[in-house]
Structure 1
């Protein structure tokens, strides 16, 4: 026979009307963009004219205006992002980037010793500057007063960036050091077989050290998964070369025989191959890498899901490229807005409960010089 006993003093007693609170259900949030091409076109034209009038000095202010426009028009749950970067700090970084680029291009023209010193300097400086770029861009971005951030260490930056920088710089350096032995310059090219792993490590460095308030991101992706993207991208490149060569052959046959026809075929095939590769490989790699990386990035209670469609993105980029060429570059701001809106539309955020409680501490970071140097080398960090 069972007997009833008094509950422990620390036990929770529920009345007949009380129920246990259910855990918050996940909600999928969509990012939106409230800007448009015409509005950004006016900003773009003013930035371009002032940059030309000031011999490039205004480009720092132009960059801040551009980032502020896109961040302030990016909306999540009724609130927009914001960018707080200092244009003067960006200008200092731009000047540094010009110095580094000039030194890289003309180093061996002065002397072999100076050239080697510049190459070593770039190898040592570039990973540090790329880390600074991420810290500056994210640390000056906020959402509802909460700063984003990046806490990757200097050592981790060198592990991520030193191998690809070495692979990129060594062929040119060896060719300049040993002009009579061009075969030596091809030896570092074997390292490109490891390029997918290098790319994977860079993405890990970028995503695994993101901060939202005081919350750290987690990121788990095997590097070998990037090989599939490069194999497919290489196949698309071969397909583009084959199609361009076939079209060039037919065009050359129609033009007749002779040296002029052969020259026409060669030029046409080269230009068409590059253009088709740009329209196929570039969008494909962006879609596959973005989907993989973002869909495996998460914060406590916050998960990302990227669903970019490769074919639709290729069509969008092809249309943007065509209109940009036909408009002599004036369609460029519309193309940028189209791509940005398209990518946001396919990036979804799943949260448990309220996104406002996902972070509790605001952090700020510096490093504008690294961000501007990254722009100088043609590297886009705003993924």
Structure 2
């Protein structure tokens, strides 16, 4: 008789905000340098972007090692076995659209409007970036989820590129489905206020300003709704297509739970001027892990015994390149 399948979600995320802070601080420093260089000159900004692109795959690999070494299931730590070369193949293409756009800006004369052909090139690059983004994201997730290990089980990633495009279309549909009513309401309100008499022009201007401020929170909530929906559906898509020969991952991440946590995290990040970010990252990671369960044809004891034989590898991951940290990808 075949061994029955069983599924349970018993995950523990052991990283602390203090450990994760240095990764987020490094990301902030890198992009702060890029922003400062861009203000100095377009060429300096372009060089800074190339430097970040050159470092990012190595940081990504270290981040994944850190994250997996601090994640355990039933006391068994996960491992990440991806190579540095694979990280460069997966992550470097993400910077190509941005590098091309910044490169076009470098050839633009300061203070001069762009020529027709230069403007067309920027439009084509922008639209092209949107078209290839789902494919670039698929390449990144394939690298990540084809190199996870639980015990002696090595995962593979079976989601297709087309599934990422379908998810992108759904997210766009949700965005426009929520944004259009909000914009219509705003346009109607502005139109009604615009019909006020000239004598009330001053007060009308103040009313418009208050109305604009009133719609700002709505657009913020709209953004968080779309963000939480995209994150929840992407996690389900990715983890439900992650498996090994004898282990299958399942994800059922609640959109409502993720939205509420996202709103709470951003409230505290604004209140603390960003210092709450590592705590928000830990809370989000734990929520997302709790939505993942594991099915296997192996008995728990067999999986755990195989994992103990590889414990040394997981310890090595924890002290991986750059001493290990999470950059939030």
Instruction: Report the TM range for the smaller structure's normalisation.
Output: 0.7 to 0.9
Query: 1:286-316: CA deviations, max 9, x gaps?
Result: 222111211111234221122335xxx2476
Query: How far apart are residue 103 of structure 1 and its match?
Result: 1.9
Distance 1:94 1:315 in 2: 24
Q: 1:361 pairs with 310, 314, 328, which one?
A: 310
Q: 2:161 pairs with 204, 223, 230, which one?
A: 223
Unaligned stretches of 5+ in structure 2? Answer: none
Aligned equivalent of 1:175: 105
Structure 1 stretch 169-178 or stretch 146-155: which is displaced more? 169-178
Query: How far apart are residue 349 of structure 1 and its match?
Result: 1.4
1:287 aligns with 2:287: no
Aligned partner of residue 283 in structure 1, secondary structure: helix
The total of aligned residue pairs comes to 300
Structure 1 residues 115-126: aligned runs within 5 Å:
115-126=45-56
Query: 1:349-383: CA deviations, max 9, x gaps?
Result: 112232232233221221356735x2xxxxx34xx
Q: 1:317 pairs with 259, 274, 279, which one?
A: 259
Distance 1:229 1:253, change over 3 A: same
Query: 1:199-246: CA deviations, max 9, x gaps?
Result: 111111111111223431121111111111111211222222211112
1:27 aligns with 2:1: no
Distance 2:88 2:44 in 1: 23
Query: 1:73-106: CA deviations, max 9, x gaps?
Result: xxxxxxxxx459994x974x56644542232111
Q: 1:198 pairs with 129, 132, 136, which one?
A: 136
Aligned equivalent of 1:166: 96
Q: 1:188 pairs with 125, 130, 135, which one?
A: 125
Aligned partner of residue 10 in structure 2, secondary structure: strand
User: RMSD across aligned C-alpha pairs, in angstroms?
Assistant: 3.8
Distance 1:125 1:213, change over 3 A: same
Aligned equivalent of 1:278: 224
1:297 aligns with 2:242: yes
User: Greater relative contact order: 1 or 2 (C-alpha under 8 angstroms, separation 6 or more)?
Assistant: 2
Structure 1 stretch 361-370 or stretch 337-346: which is displaced more? 337-346
Aligned equivalent of 2:147: 209
Distance 2:26 2:262 in 1: 32
Q: Is the 8 A contact 1:133 1:368 kept in 2?
A: no
Aligned partner of residue 224 in structure 1, secondary structure: helix
1:157 aligns with 2:87: yes
Distance 2:24 2:233 in 1: 31
Distance 1:342 1:129, change over 3 A: closer
Higher-Rg structure is 1
Distance 2:184 2:259 in 1: 23
1:138 aligns with 2:68: yes
Aligned equivalent of 1:377: none
Q: Is the 8 A contact 2:249 2:292 kept in 1?
A: yes
Query: How far apart are residue 324 of structure 1 and its match?
Result: 7.1
Query: How far apart are residue 171 of structure 1 and its match?
Result: 2.8
Query: How far apart are residue 153 of structure 1 and its match?
Result: 1.8
Aligned partner of residue 54 in structure 2, secondary structure: helix
| Greater helix fraction, Structure 1 or Structure 2 | 2
1:307 aligns with 2:252: yes
Name the TM-score, length of structure 2 as normaliser: 0.74
